Structure 1
Amino acid sequence: MPSGPSPEEASTSTVSRPTFKALGLIDPLLEAVEQLNYKQPTDIQVEALPHALEGRDIIGVASTGSGKTAAFALPILQKLWEEPKGLFACVIAPTRELAYQISQQFEALGSAIGVRCAVLVGGMDRISQSIALGKRPHIIVATPGRLEDHLENTKGFSLRGLKFLVLDEADRLLDMDFGPIIDKILKAIPKERTTYLFSATMTTKVAKLQRASLSNPVRVEVSTKYSTVSTLLQYYLFIPLSHKDVHLVNLANSLAQNSIIIFTRTVHDAQRLSIILRTLGFPAVPLHGQLSQSQRLGALQKFTSGNRKVLVATDVASRGLDIPSVDVVINFDIPTHSKDYIHRVGRTARAGRSGKSITLVTQYDVELVQRIEAVTGKKMELWATDKEEVALLRERVEEAGRLAANEMRDEASKGGGYGRKRRRDDGDDKDNRDRDDDVVEAGMPKKKKKGKR
């Protein structure tokens, strides 16, 4: 494994860290990183860029928020500058929102060389994507299901001339059972190519994918252990299961001046809680995999712009997305995997800022909390609660809950509904493939799906 500055060296000395110019970037890209205010390369960029610019395949092990998008985008753009061609690179990402974010970063970094990107994701109009492909983009950023769809059904589209393939968030791609689709895509692209595989963890599935898709790769790793940042304050609230809703509303009330992401396990609860909060006057918007793509992008835009202070989301929002300023993360449900907890709370306390996470713990969740504390090496502190304030809220919250249940029943009878078989919502690319609805705050997809806790 290539050597690089230790975390201690990185934190105590910035003099020894190389500049983007020293790493070998050309002038148009140096201008782009300066315009984007990238002061210094991050650890993963320092480790990956020299090997990538030499043309090597890369395995990058790095957590979300580490700067890995630029670590694979910059060498691709530099090679494109040297050999301007048609379709040049394909990036495969697990979620639609991450795909859009990657495309935006490619376009920002490649603005000086006129790079053209096309995004192929489910939930958006297939015909307009086919038209975009007809304009010969340099970079395609896609979720697996929609990319496979275009390879099979879009006349004249192929990946036979591809020079670069990037598999981003590979562990999540495989967690979401995209393995068989990725195998098909690998058969449709040339073996003579450069491949970058980035993952937060190296599971057995990822190792198998690495063997199938990379040739003599260099492994660069800047994150060997799951951990939370030191600027994050972690709290828990121990409550009976039946009191979760009222305690959540009490938290939203006491933290009303903050931007808050509330994570739920199910689509049903994300939608239900957003309705309850809005009924009680909180500016909340839902984000989950059963909204159309334009609704999801609209929800994100409202939250990141500050137009809505509360985002109620499933794990669709837990990884990859760069939401600049989140003050508080609330876990309404505890995730069953510790790494999912770390990704969730990683939405706050980013880039050296401070942040809080508060986890609602019921009598059924104690073992999960102990497991998370063992993995992170940190004990959560008890969040102080005024019991009288909570008691005063109970009646209003219960009434709001009844109104939310009625609203969701009404929508279900019209053909909407939330939370089908999946206990967790991963925003699978195959859901809502052809939907391109207008953004509405509580828009309902047409398929009838039964809610489930």
Structure 2
Amino acid sequence: MPSPEEASTSATPPPSFKSLGLIDPLLEAIENLKYKTPTEIQAEALPHALAGRDIIGVASTGSGKTAAFALPVLQRLWEEPKSLFACVMAPTRELAYQISQQFEALGSAIGVRSVVLVGGINETEQAIALAKRPHIVVATPGRLHWHLENTKGFSLRGLKFLILDEADRLLDLDFGPVIDKILKIIPKDRTTYLYSATMTTKVAKLQRASLSNPVRVEVSSKYSTVSTLLQYYLFIPLSQKDVHLIYLANSLAQNSMMIFTRTVHDAQRLSIILRSLGFPAVPLHGQLSQSQRLGALAKFKSGGRKVLVATDVASRGLDIPSVDIVINFDIPTHSKDYIHRVGRTARAGRSGKSITLVTQYDVELIQRIEAVIEKKMELWPTDKEEVALLRERAEEAGRLAAAELRDQAAAGGKKRRRDKGGGADDRDRDDDEVEAGMPVMKKGKR
């Protein structure tokens, strides 16, 4: 197979959306969404995509790549209207919903209908939505494959576009075998876009299997953090991580912040601790139901909650417009995960801060990250007396959180036993149930 043609990047100012050849209904939607000029990936990819070429796009999160692949699909749909026109595969449920929303917003003037197929939602509801003949299907690979095998009347035989978004993450999450099965049953005569933050050997193999004579568009050749991001570290003993997190939350209380943890348990535990001390925190992790996850995101985006405590399910792809500070409670094992996490702040030219908690066991990891980003982090100043004063309250909040988690586990076990006896499925409980019964303590002076 021929190697991808390289698209040259230009040093001249980006063209306008109109000069790229987009039709008036799309230009109207772009204006309503207040997109001023094309981003670099949009300016580079759109001319090739509108000319009908397959695209390999190498671009980091926050680069505007969703519009880069959605606009040419919508333009072709306008020219050739039909149902089930395009299928997008995404690695996470949240990203799938976000892509669907953007398709519908950009296609508002032409009445585009999109359906999302992800886990955690009742399959029958999704089958009913598919029967209404949507134009765009956005799905995680596992649930898409389930519907292809089990939903009567649903197939991708007439598909014109296939889009693989965050392809490196799709393959990191071991979706490769399922994607291979899907590729075997969709039309060979189609247009394919593959977007990825990195070109790993797995992604290159997927590219060879799924694309035909593609144009490669690359706008970020190496991992880096933006210049408007101020990066700090806090060197502390492992036993003092909780109290230092509370100190940071207290001293930065006026800011919106995302706190990243390595485990689901810590995401849940820390959100309980922070709420018990009066901080408006909400958790986001893979063990919440889909409605709880979407509810947590909505509350954080709207400002109803100032603190989002998350696992890496929230580190990539999600468009959260305003995050002032990212705190790494646990330092990530891989440098690219660090870059994705801190990329939640300092977006679109805005400034932002990141603070990473470093224990005696993390020194090598932080040095590796600094080598990759080619930048030394600065030490975040702390008031040792204030930290000492917070210690007792932190320990008490930790005990309350441990008791709350035990109660939740016991209640969850009873509910699962009831459900086995024919009760309702609890996957889609309302998000507010996560917060029910949380202890609240009055905060002292800040």
Residue 342 of structure 2 corresponds to residue 345 of structure 1: yes
Which consecutive residues of structure 2, in runs of 5 or more, have no partner in the other structure? 1-5, 415-424, 437-446
Q: Hey, what's the Cα distance between the residues in 2 that align with 1:305 and 1:218? A: 39
Residue in 1 that maps onto 2:432: 440
State whether structure 2 residue 253 is matched by structure 1 residue 256.
yes
- Is 1:117–1:140's contact at 8 Å kept on the other side of the alignment? yes
Question: How many residues in Structure 1 have an aligned counterpart in Structure 2?
Answer: 421
Q: Which letter maps to 1:316?
A: V
- Give secondary structure in 2 for the equivalent of 1:414: helix
Which residue identity does 2:7 align to in structure 1? P
Q: TM-score, normalised by structure 2?
A: 0.93
Aligned to 1:109: 106
- Work out whether residues 124 and 434 of structure 1, in 8 Å CA contact, stay in contact via their aligned partners in 2: no
Aligned-pair CA distance for 1:346: 0.3
Q: Which residue of 2 aligns with 1:5?
A: 10
Please state if 1:141 is matched with 2:133. no
Q: Does the 8 Å CA contact 2:89/2:138 hold for their aligned counterparts?
A: yes
Letter in 2 for 1:391: A
Structure 1 segments unaligned to the other structure (5+ residues): 10-15, 418-432, 445-453
1:213-239, Cα deviation, whole Å (9 max, x unpaired): 001111000000100011100000000
Q: Which amino acid aligns with 2:235?
A: F
Counterpart for residue 451 of structure 1:
none
Cα displacement (A) at 1:187: 1.1
- 1:214 matched to 2:211: yes
Cα shift at 1:410 = 1.3
Alignment of 1:37-436 (within 5 A): 37-415=34-412, 435-436=427-428
Counterparts of 1:341 and 1:269, CA distance in 2: 18
- Secondary structure, aligned partner of 1:156: coil
Residues 14 and 39, structure 2, Cα contact 8 Å, conserved in 1: no
Alignment partner, residue 421 of structure 1: none
C-alpha displacement of 1:5: 2.1
Q: Secondary structure at the match of 1:442?
A: helix
Contact 1:117 1:138 in 2 (8 A): yes
Three-state SS of the structure 2 residue aligned to 1:342 is: helix
Task: Check the 8 A contact 1:2/1:220 in 2, yes or no.
Answer: yes
SS of the equivalent of 1:319 reads: coil
Q: How far has the Cα of 1:415 moved from its partner? A: 2.3
Correspondence for 1:13: none
| Structure 1 contact 295–443 (Cα < 8 Å) conserved | no
Q: Deviations over 1:44-75 (max 9, x none)?
A: 01110011011110000000000000000000
Identical aligned pairs, as a percentage?
Answer: 84
Amino acid at match of 2:348: A
Cα deviation 1:97-146 (Å, max 9, x = unaligned)? 00000000000000111111000011112111111100000000001111
The answer to whether the 8 Å contact 1:164/1:195 transfers is yes
* SS across alignment from 2:434: coil
CA distance in 2, matches of 1:293, 1:362: 34
Q: Report the alpha carbon displacement of residue 434 of structure 1 after superposing the two structures with TM.
A: 7.9
SS in 2 for 1:182: helix
8 Å contact from structure 1 (residues 285, 441) kept in 2: no
In the alignment, the residues of structure 2 paired with residue 434 and residue 106 of structure 1 have an alpha-carbon distance, to the nearest angstrom, of 30
1:337-359 per-residue CA deviation (whole Å, 9 max, x = no partner) reads: 00000000000000111100000
Q: Distance in 2 between matches of 1:203 and 1:94?
A: 16
Shift of 1:441: 5.3
Partner Cα separation in structure 2 for residue 103 and residue 404 of structure 1: 36
Look up the equivalent residue of 2:127 and give its one-letter code: S
User: Whole-Å Cα distance in 1 between the matches of residues 50 and 426 of structure 2?
Assistant: 39
Deviations 1:386-427 (A, max 9, x none): 00000001011101101111111111112269xxxxxxxxxx
